[in-house]
Structure 1
């Protein structure tokens, strides 16, 4: 019976193709070739032929069951929505605290902290290296005092906190633990995520401090400490977001993100940690880009591939450790300064792809972010976008609604296959650190970014308002700007802190940290003591710089 149906399908498809050929003479297609972002040609139509080898039980399964293609929770959004976690932070801790309280009052369900550049790379606000950058792209955090202000009247036992911080993640996590304790919240009650993904900093973003080897050691220290003390906290958010923003295509985003994940798991296992314990505290961070169907397939492929890697490569037995839990952010690189209100539509479609792909939390970009920091109005619209998808669209009422679509299942298979091919190449090179050191990853991303830019310049890919449907005059818009006086105030606050704290205790704790780093001990307990005595971020980082050294990027040609 099935064989007869297959023959009928082939016959019917041939007839349809003949009718298409006739139509093409009158109505040519828009392009000579339609492609995915990773260079595969897209067919006009997909049929059961394209997924004839798909095994439902093996390749899809049911939500909450291996290989988790259809989602990591049995009921997904029928039980609870994803965490609506808007990324925010600017100027001082006082200003950011006001924005957090406002967003929570508007229905946001988790906080996501953006730090300024000096905080990200371990400099205090009064360091010469920080001049002109304090509070510009995020909030300035110099000490526990700032962190106390940042979370003032925000109950850390009820609100989950995500922190986009990497090279100084150990310090900021320690500050969060210390603030929670001051609120009477135990470490085991804390929920949230630290990004803590240093490998992608060497690939795509650049906010590193130490060389790869000591950086990996500190990450393993966080895994070890957090597995014992922070059971509800995600100790890393392995990030494809910035890899995609740097120009990677969808398949590369999955491949390089999971290859980073493999490196972290390898390092933790070599340090004697149990994959079924620390594996529960891993999370991922992906980009929701413009190609709606491809993005849905990307999220499903990543989830299935990671489950296989954890089960087959690392012999994980805990299904919880096999689950790829991920946060998504809409694509900042797709936002345009031209006709910025168009970004509202872009963000809505990108957010919808993340929901259709089964994300656990989501940040929607504000329409004005190509111009400056989000205003309160634009941040509210971004949050409302998520709420409309959740409450009004109906897409959350059934699980993985695109499953079984011929094109979605084919794209899911293709992205998984391409990503696995990359991972095997990286393995042959000796792993992700080696691949980064020899420039392979960076070159692949650069080539992909170059190809994408050429397509825009040649109008093969259309960006509305940029290379088609442009307008000459656009009305001026309100842009949020950081008051330059804020940097002076932050420096003055830091000066007073150093005068009023117990500097003998600070020195003693910094010396203990230095000895721990020298002796290859877990540095987390020592950093926590430094933080509690109001040692600054810069002072702590400088101690570790002295022992671990500083990374200088080599030129990739």
Structure 2
């Protein structure tokens, strides 16, 4: 009897007979993203040639990992996202996280910084230092990095519409420490497309915003050899309500758009592609997440090799940072979020991430406390040192279920990318409202499943305990921070050479009016001269205007 006949016999005589007597919990078992799954998978579910679809770690198509030995060499970068209040407070938190074992910095900026507003702006006042550090002048960056060796610690900055300003501040800080900018290692997010799609912290219209983003890629590829000038981000797409398929489809479609725009500058693909990086979410459906990461790696390798004719293996490698699902956290019974984030972090590691942030259990209530942030680091350290999952490269590779699910996610994602391509690329798709509408529909479906009880959320629609008494400490930003940073802003302005600042902003304006010159050197000159983030952003607003997105129904 061959395997196909054996499976049919099992289904009829064993499985169906069993469930007729004992039943099952559900009529339809699905992944978190709504993909229906069978009770068991076999070799019949695995299609294609092994070497063509999987290969070996460190080799095309990189399904099994981008490095030959993965975590047997060294573990992922433990990069906890942090930042609040003033530069001094953020510096103190970073120092404590590094002492606890964090191996890379990840800076959170407040909303005024993200939207190019100085802290004394009327729209900024109530948000100064609330969800991240206030960063309006290069000397604030210098304070954040006080005592932190820039040549030994990589720095990730979650910033988009003002990414050029923030990277210029970091370069100026390095210069102030008598270090060459070439030592800088890290990432600036700089993914404006996902802002239009999901996060909404944009300033300028799509066309000049793409120019701004690509200017950073071009400058970095030539002058910052260790720097990753963009982190193409699916995380925020997922957090906005997308399922796993939409997350990788729209993220890779964004990546395609950035590569095309950079190639239009006449830059060889192998000169910048090795520096591109990605950022994904990790949710609690472990197997779906692992399959998602593996599918994304394989798809990106194919895109770079077959679509853009990349030659270097490094150009085909999808390097990614992962953050556990913030939207998955619950304010109810917050301590059990430690269990959720542990599962999610495990999924990221089994999926082959290069760096990882684990959300603190109290983040559904407030910014993390020092204690909860340290526990989040310990989650990563226990996975790395006690679980055994780092001993083998791609330990789930070859699982019939994982390989089938990887193929299924990939197939579905290609269909979405094909729709985007037929619209003329991601910018056109965004202008048409396509990704926004798809994410809204996905969010509705997921919420409907939760409300109907099909998708269980412990503590929300199951095992709810209204009398749960927790002792969760809530972190609050010191309200005195606002006045402190505003006073420092006034001091900076009073001490600088205002003529030099004015001249540098005039140069920035003139270059912004052109289309064939890179903005970065002029932005860097303005930041060095003492210009604030509000002044540089206002200069670009005068030329490019502000974007008002159309309503999507």
Fold equivalence (TM over 0.5): yes
User: After the TM superposition, which residues 193-212 of structure 1 pair with which residues of structure 2 at under 5 Å, given as runs?
Assistant: 193-212=187-206
Question: Which residue pairs with 1:50 in the alignment?
Answer: 45
- Confirm whether residue 462 of structure 1 aligns to residue 417 of structure 2: no
- Confirm whether residue 516 of structure 1 aligns to residue 528 of structure 2: no
User: After the TM superposition, which residues 11-50 of structure 1 pair with which residues of structure 2 at under 5 Å, given as runs?
Assistant: 11-50=6-45
Q: Secondary structure at the match of 2:5?
A: helix
User: After the TM superposition, which residues 132-531 of structure 1 pair with which residues of structure 2 at under 5 Å, given as runs?
Assistant: 132-473=126-467, 474-520=469-515, 521-531=517-527
Residues 68-98 of structure 1: CA deviation (Å, up to 9, x unaligned): 0010111100001100000000011100000
User: After the TM superposition, which residues 72-87 of structure 1 pair with which residues of structure 2 at under 5 Å, given as runs?
Assistant: 72-87=66-81
Superposition deviation, residue 518 in structure 1: 1.4
Residues 104-124 of structure 1: CA deviation (Å, up to 9, x unaligned): 111110000000000001000
Contact 2:171 2:181 (8 Å CA) reproduced: yes
- Indicate the RMSD between aligned Cα atoms, in angstroms: 1.0
Q: Secondary structure at the match of 1:329?
A: strand
Contact 2:281 2:322 (8 Å CA) reproduced: yes
Q: Secondary structure at the match of 2:356?
A: strand
Number of residue pairs the alignment of both structures matches: 551
The unaligned stretches of length 5 or more in structure 1 are none
Distance (Å, rounded) in 2 between the aligned partners of 1:197 and 1:448: 22
Distance (Å, rounded) in 1 between the aligned partners of 2:7 and 2:488: 76
Residues 97-146 of structure 1: CA deviation (Å, up to 9, x unaligned): 00000001111100000000000010000011102000010000010111
Q: Secondary structure at the match of 1:556?
A: coil
Residues 177-233 of structure 1: CA deviation (Å, up to 9, x unaligned): 111111222222111000000000001001101100000001111111101111111
Superposition deviation, residue 156 in structure 1: 0.5
Residues 256-288 of structure 1: CA deviation (Å, up to 9, x unaligned): 000000000010111211111110110000000
The unaligned stretches of length 5 or more in structure 2 are none
Contact 2:333 2:470 (8 Å CA) reproduced: no
Distance (Å, rounded) in 2 between the aligned partners of 1:185 and 1:282: 24
Against the structure 1 CA distance between its residues 8 and 141, is the aligned structure 2 distance closer, same or farther, given a 3 Å change threshold? closer
Distance (Å, rounded) in 2 between the aligned partners of 1:497 and 1:134: 17
Contact 2:234 2:281 (8 Å CA) reproduced: yes
Distance (Å, rounded) in 2 between the aligned partners of 1:354 and 1:484: 36
Superposition deviation, residue 9 in structure 1: 4.1
Superposition deviation, residue 25 in structure 1: 2.2
Superposition deviation, residue 549 in structure 1: 1.2
Q: Secondary structure at the match of 1:369?
A: coil
The TM-score normalised by the length of structure 2 is: 0.98
The TM-score normalised by the length of structure 1 is: 0.98
Q: Secondary structure at the match of 2:232?
A: strand
